[in-house]
Structure 1
Amino acid sequence: MDESNNETLFVRTNKSFIENSIDDSHGNQFKQQFINNKIDLEITDIHNEDKNDDDDDAEVLDDIQCRSINQNNFIDCMEFETIPIDHDTANLKRILFGNAALSIGPEWLHQYFEFDAINSQLWYGLVQHKGGPCGVLASIQAFLCAEFFHWNRVENIQNVKDLHRYRNECLSKAIGNILWQIKRKDQSVIIAIESQQKILDETKDFRFDNITERLRIGRFESKKKLIDFLCQIFKHSNKNIGCVSFVYSCILTRGIEEIQHDYDPGSIQALLTPETLLCSQELVNLCLIGCAVSNVFDNNLKCDELVLQGVKKQSKIGFLTLYEYGGGAKVGSCYKSPKLPIFVILSEDHFTVLFAKDKINDDNHHQIELYYYDGLMNQENEIHLTIDTQSCAIHDDKHRSPLECVIQTKWPDCHINWNDSNRLF
């Protein structure tokens, strides 16, 4: 048997441990060994360096004919209708970047939604290539963790193809849930899809950026149809929706005027910071709670003649920030006690994710098992933290990790065990 044609996939679920030997020339051979019960899912996929990304994408397509059609033909033959973008709609670029004549840098232009294909422990993680879109990626990652570990927990995966299908299904649901949460009553979800063909002409106020001029727009009244559409898109390719087109979809669904009403007066002119093109708090709030408010405290705060808008109700996904530890922000209970034990973390101008794989109850459990994921860090292993809320930590600010400081804004004075993971500074 030629070992170069083999891939080995290990899947550990709460039911079984399965070793699959996949041999293209001899068919699939499966050997199943039942061992100790595990709730988490671990996938070990031997990476074949000889395969390119296009070959990997092609493996997940059920219909092999899809490999020979380009993106435009694929979009045209879908059962869901999309229309070409016009110059009026292209003005949404201004609310994202502040100027519709700006080009889009590589940190945003080339950032699509790609899962870690090498590290078996981090099968659930989206990979970030450059700094910039971390706020968007962390928000989607948080909703992905909700799907993987709370809403759509896997029971059994038997091969690489099943894993691709499962991850793309959860990615479709995560993006669909974010957009559906943004949708206003009696309005539609509007989604921007990247095609290959340029649709718009350049003007003095609008310059090509290799995304905006290629967009097609779809409108959805049903959440099921929206997710079905996204599933078809990601089944075909992960290059039809990326970070930019996803944020455009958020803007179109919320509405430009509505977003501007969400802001604190005089707060920002664009959803990305002008100098660094990092995600603003407004953009992260738009992804997490459906409106682009400027603050993370509860409800509204009257300050002289101004009304500063905060988070109005308990969020599905939480938010914690190092700025609160330093006294520069106040995170309210709506974000600090979310419906799910999943938090987007802001530390040192970078957004990451902290999550539990099971529900936790602060009243009954003083030990909480959490996992930390940073798509930009090239993690080698899963970072598993045990939070002991009844053991007081010894404070030594010189040797404290910023992540520890953030966690203690939620669980004050808790003891944090890194479980043999390297402490992050």
Structure 2
Amino acid sequence: MAAQASSPVPPPDLDEIIKIMWGNEVKEEVFQRWKQGFKFSPDEPTALMQHEGGPCAVIAPVQAHILKSLINDFSPKTTNWTEIRQMESDRVSKLLIRALCEILSQAYAGNKYILVYMSDSEAHDQKQPLGSPSVSTAPDSTATSTFETAEQQSAKKSAENPKDHSYFHSQLRALSFECTEEVEAYYLERIDTLRETFGVLLFLYSVLCTKGIEALHCEVTDPSEPFVDSEFGYGSQSLINLMISGRAVAHVWNYDQDICGLKLKGVNKQCQVGFMTLLEHLRYCEVGSFLKNPINPVWVLGSETHLTVLFSFEKRLVSAETPSEVARRVFKSYDPEGNNFISSELLQDVMSSLDLVSDPEYVDIMRKKLDSENLGIILLSAFMDEFFPEEAVTIPDTFPVYHYNGLIRSCPNNKVVYQEGNAVLLETNMASVLESNSMLTCLQTKWPSIELQWVSGVTPSLN
């Protein structure tokens, strides 16, 4: 059995976590949409299923990390789909646990790993309550009669509806672990807790507890905006970013940006899996290279209401940032309004940030060359042509892609399976504005010249 230490979370934390998750009120109909375990498709053993809209903010990033492991375990030239599609449940469970541990590690704030479970789920050694005495079930509890009455009322209500949010929160307990090896061993012994009714929420609460309230408050732009939309139940961008990058920030650009004196936080490093969104095409946001060019060729795709996953076994689609990409990113950090130019007075700062020669005399020479008409601005294109001429393209012209949509009702014949497609990068940009092809429009935010042919003849849905 995994070594474990009882670790009751301080009393305020459960209330704070509930508030961060749901806002000032937990709406039962929204909570019910999140009430599901991690269950795999009978038609695609490594693909998670989603029953209702909302929990894709957790399920899609977990699926992305599962696919990351598959890509690293299988060579693109020897990909054996028969083996993948006949994978035994024990191996699939280990893939799931590996994905959960990776997400917890990203959120880890340096204290302990906190795993949340329900006291009525199964026997746990050294059970301890998560939260205030009002949710303690210990026989010698010193809770006041008011709390006892509330407990009795909750128990009565739970007997009528044993799966409502009041009962769920009353049963939460937590254990602490020192390392991911202990977490992995714990989950391996209790895999059913992940598959049960509240598996997704229990893991999400574990991520929030492991991150810690203080760290969450530091990263979330607006603490009053809950992670789950109170009307539709969708996960916020802060929640999506937490699951993908480990940071609960509201923006998807690189690093923090200063907009008119307001510091807005973004993603601070290249991520294991990436993110693209249709909203970037609509100019609601700008996805930085840390998410658009992740370490592994796996991207969570965002529509206006749902998250799916695109992946490929072609590892040449991603790489470390090239000098040209670094230069473009740094230049844009001095152009927060996205005008594709900077004041000529900022040229020395940009050159210095890129470790280019930045002696005042040389900068003056380059300023006059790049701003020959003395307009007081330096264009991005002129800067890149001068210092970072076009680099050799290493991305293949053609490559296979696969798409995952876990929402059962959005899949052909209600079967959650990976949809295979063939991508081609054309010589000219093919910006798509067809509302009927949101998939292509989304992918063109990364590959402007991409065209796709799907093996089934039907374009998979982003919704």
The TM-score range, normalised by the shorter chain, is 0.7 to 0.9
State the shift of 1:350 in Å.
0.6
Kindly provide the amino acid, as one letter, of the partner of residue 130 in structure 1: E
CA deviations on 1:325-353 (whole Å, 9 max, x unpaired) are 11111000010100000001101211111
Alignment map for 1:68-79 (pairs within 5 Å):
none
Tell me what 1:193 maps to.
117
What secondary structure, in the 3-state scheme, does the structure 2 residue paired with 1:409 have? coil
User: Structure 1 residue 209: deviation in Å?
Assistant: 2.5
- In structure 2, do the counterparts of structure 1 residues 96 and 152 end up closer, same or farther at CA, with 3 Å as the change threshold? farther
How far does residue 366 in structure 1 lie from its aligned partner after superposition? 1.6
Identify the residue that residue 256 of structure 1 maps to in structure 2: 213
- The answer to whether the 8 A contact 1:150-1:358 is kept is no
Q: Secondary structure of 1:415's match?
A: strand
More helix by share: 2
Q: Superposition pairs for residues 29-178 of structure 1, below 5 Å?
A: 80-82=4-6, 87-91=11-15, 92-99=17-24, 102-103=27-28, 105-109=31-35, 111-117=36-42, 119=43, 122-151=44-73, 163-178=88-103
Assess, with a 3 A threshold, how the Cα gap between structure 1 residues 369 and 258 changes in structure 2: closer, same or farther.
Answer: same
The answer to whether the 8 A contact 1:387-1:416 is kept is yes
The letter for the 2-side match of 1:278 is Y
CA distance in 2, matches of 1:78, 1:157: 34
Aligned match of 1:367? 398
Distance 2:232 2:306 in 1: 12
> Does the 8 Å CA contact 1:127/1:375 hold for their aligned counterparts?
yes
Q: Do the aligned residues in 2 keep the contact of 1:193 with 1:241 (CA within 8 Å)?
A: no
Q: Report Cα offsets for 1:37-73 as digits up to 9, x if no partner.
A: xxxxxxxxxxxxxxxxxxxxxxxxxxxxxxxxxxxxx
* TM-score under structure 2 length normalisation: 0.67
| Paired position in structure 2 for 1:408 | 444
- TM-score (normalised: structure 1): 0.72
In structure 1, give the amino acid aligned to 2:440. Answer: E
Q: Secondary structure at the match of 1:272?
A: coil
Report the equivalent of 2:341. none
Contact 1:168/1:234 (<8 A) preserved = yes
Deviation at 1:210, TM superposition (A): 2.9
Alpha-carbon offset, residue 212 of structure 1: 1.7
CA change 1:299–1:150 in 2 (3 A) is same
* Alignment partner, residue 287 of structure 1: 243
Give the secondary structure class of the aligned counterpart of 1:210: helix
**2:423 aligned partner:** 387
What secondary structure is seen at the aligned counterpart in 2 of 1:191? strand
CA distance 1:196–1:405, change in 2 (3 Å): same
Stretch deviating more after TM superposition (235-244 or 413-422): 235-244
2:298 aligned with 1:342, yes or no? Answer: yes
The one-letter amino acid of 1:389's match is L
More displaced 10-residue stretch of structure 1: 269-278 or 357-366 = 357-366
| 8 Å contact kept, 1:84–1:215 | no
Please name the residue that 2:169 is paired with.
212
Cα 1:276/1:116, change in 2 over 3 Å:
same
Say if 2:419 and 2:460, in contact at 8 Å, map to a contact too: no
- Where structure 1 has 5 or more consecutive residues not aligned to the other structure, the ranges are 1-76
Residue 233 (structure 1) shift: 1.4
How far does the alpha carbon of each residue in 1:88-144 deviate from its partner, in whole angstroms, 9 at most, with x for none? 3421211100136654632112x1100001x1xx22110000111111110111011
Label 1:81 to 1:221 Cα distance change in 2 as closer, same or farther (>3 A): closer
Inter-CA distance 93–150: structure 2 relative to 1 (3 Å threshold):
same
Match of 2:233 among 277, 301, 309: 277
The structure number with the bigger radius of gyration is: 2
Does the 8 Å contact 2:402/2:421 carry over to 1? yes
Aligned residues: 342
Contact preservation (8 Å) 1:388, 1:416? yes
CA–CA separation in structure 2 for the residues paired with 1:301 and 1:295: 10
User: 1:194–1:240: 8 Å Cα contact kept in structure 2?
Assistant: no
Which of the pair is proportionally richer in strand? Answer: 1
Q: Distance in 1 between matches of 2:49 and 2:67?
A: 14
Name 2:275's counterpart in structure 1: 319
Distance 2:179 2:74 in 1: 20
How many angstroms does 1:161 deviate by?
A: 10
Q: Counterpart of 2:204?
A: 247
Q: Is the CA contact (8 Å cut-off) linking 2:27 and 2:230 kept in structure 1?
A: no
| CA–CA separation in structure 2 for the residues paired with 1:423 and 1:159 | 23
1:240, distance to aligned residue in structure 2 (A): 7.7
Summarize the Cα distance change of 1:161–1:345 in structure 2 as closer, same or farther, 3 Å threshold: closer
Amino acid across the alignment from 1:375: G
- Partner AA of 1:183 in structure 2: Y
